[in-house]
């Protein structure tokens, strides 16, 4: 809509790949160096990019701080957090909370496992969207058309032999997940890690977030993990209730 801003914002994902110098930025944007320079300068003034001592540009600290605030303002996160902690205390495994927003699924909260073997993930990190249990729940709830469109434009990386291979398989899985009201990821992302997940719903019944419990199968088998499902679903329902009861305006994820 606004060319200048559009160009400036396009610089950010580009720098997210790694530091770049002026020429590289200008090239990838398809603009003159002087133009790129002025855009970068403006971004710099706002702390969104940072100029390293070798003159190359990186993403800046302000960006990180902003993102932090963004997450702290998500009220679903605030409501859910104590419940996640309690669940973690009961089961010991890693607990995640994730939301969907226009094509992206992100972890927005996490309570680490008590066991020494931990799953790698990080708050704010985009989720492996085609395999993660939480992603399945969030996408399963989208309107048919949107779900189909999204499934088509996704990549289906084969993390393991049990990863979702393609769009049709994914859509079928989503259908199943939608009907049963919970989801699993059994070694689809990392061979030795299983997850079970349950949806958190708003007052209107739409899924606003999803939570999961993950554990490596050196600690518990998939079957053992599945015995925790009722507890996870109950926790999710409790959060749903609290969330629906409280908020005057509907919030987060359409």
Site residues (vs DNA, CB under 7 A): 2-7, 21-23, 31-35, 37-39, 55-56
Task: Name the residue nearer to DNA (CB basis): 53 or 144.
Answer: 53
Which of DNA, a copy of itself, none lies near 32, with the C-beta cut-off 5 to 8 A by kind? Answer: DNA
Task: Name the residue nearer to DNA (CB basis): 40 or 84.
Answer: 40
Task: Name the residue nearer to DNA (CB basis): 59 or 236.
Answer: 59
Which of DNA, a copy of itself, none lies near 233, with the C-beta cut-off 5 to 8 A by kind? Answer: none
**Beta strand pairing status for 104-111 and 57-59?**
unpaired
Q: Token digits for 94?
A: 């890693």
Q: Token digits for 192?
A: 């030795």
Contacts of 236 (CB under 8 A, 6+ apart): 198, 199, 200, 210, 211
Give the C-alpha separation, 10 to 158, whole Å. Answer: 29
Which of a copy of itself, DNA, none lies near 75, with the C-beta cut-off 5 to 8 A by kind? Answer: none
Q: Token digits for 121?
A: 């993930």
Cβ neighbours of 209 (radius 10 Å) = 28
Virtual CA dihedral for 230, 235, 241, 247, nearest 10 degrees? Answer: -150
Out of 32, 67, 180, 230, which residue is the one contacting a copy of itself (CB under 8 A)? Answer: 67
Ramachandran bin of 185, using left for φ above 0, alpha for ψ from -120 to 50, beta for the remaining angles: beta
Give bridge partners of residue 152 from the DSSP assignment. none
Q: For a copy of itself, what does the binding mask look like between residues 74 and 103, x meaning CB under 8 A?
A: -------------------------x-xxx
In 46-201, alpha helices (H):
61-72, 75-91, 133-140, 144-153, 167-180
**Cβ 183 to DNA shortest distance, Å:** 34
Closest C-alpha among 137, 131, 126, 132 to residue 236: 137
Which of a copy of itself, DNA, none lies near 227, with the C-beta cut-off 5 to 8 A by kind? Answer: none
158 binds a copy of itself per the rule CB under 8 A: no
64 binds a copy of itself per the rule CB under 8 A: yes
**Cβ 211 to a copy of itself shortest distance, Å:** 17
Total of residues contacting a copy of itself (CB under 8 A): 61
Q: Which residues bind a copy of itself (CB under 8 A)?
A: 1-2, 4-6, 8-10, 12-13, 16-19, 38-39, 41-43, 45-48, 50, 52-54, 58-73, 99, 101-104, 106, 108, 112, 122-126, 249-252, 254
């Amino acid at each position: 809509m606004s060319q200048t801003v559009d160009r400036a914002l396009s610089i950010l994902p580009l720098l997210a790949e790694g530091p770049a110098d002026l020429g590289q930025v200008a090239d990838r944007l398809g603009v003159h160096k002087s133009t790129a320079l002025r855009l970068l300068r403006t971004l710099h003034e706002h702390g969104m990019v940072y100029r390293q001592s070798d003159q190359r540009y990186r993403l800046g600290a302000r960006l990180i701080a902003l993102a932090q605030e963004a997450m702290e303002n998500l009220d679903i996160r605030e409501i859910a957090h104590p419940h996640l902690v309690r669940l973690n205390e009961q089961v010991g495994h890693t607990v995640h909370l994730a939301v969907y927003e226009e094509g992206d699924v992100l972890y927005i909260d996490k309570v680490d496992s008590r066991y020494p073997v931990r799953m790698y993930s990080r708050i704010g990190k985009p989720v492996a969207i085609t395999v993660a249990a939480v992603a399945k729940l969030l996408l399963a709830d989208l309107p048919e058309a949107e779900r189909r469109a999204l499934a088509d434009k996704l990549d289906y990386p084969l993390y393991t032999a049990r990863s979702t291979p393609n769009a049709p398989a994914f859509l079928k899985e989503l259908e199943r997940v939608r009907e049963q009201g919970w989801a699993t990821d059994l070694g689809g992302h990392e061979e030795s890690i299983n997850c079970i997940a349950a949806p958190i719903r708003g007052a209107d019944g739409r899924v606003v977030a999803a939570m999961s419990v993950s554990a490596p199968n050196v600690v518990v088998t998939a079957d053992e993990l599945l015995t925790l499902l009722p507890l996870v679903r109950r926790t999710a329902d409790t959060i749903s209730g609290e969330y629906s009861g409280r908020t005057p305006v509907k919030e987060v994820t359409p």
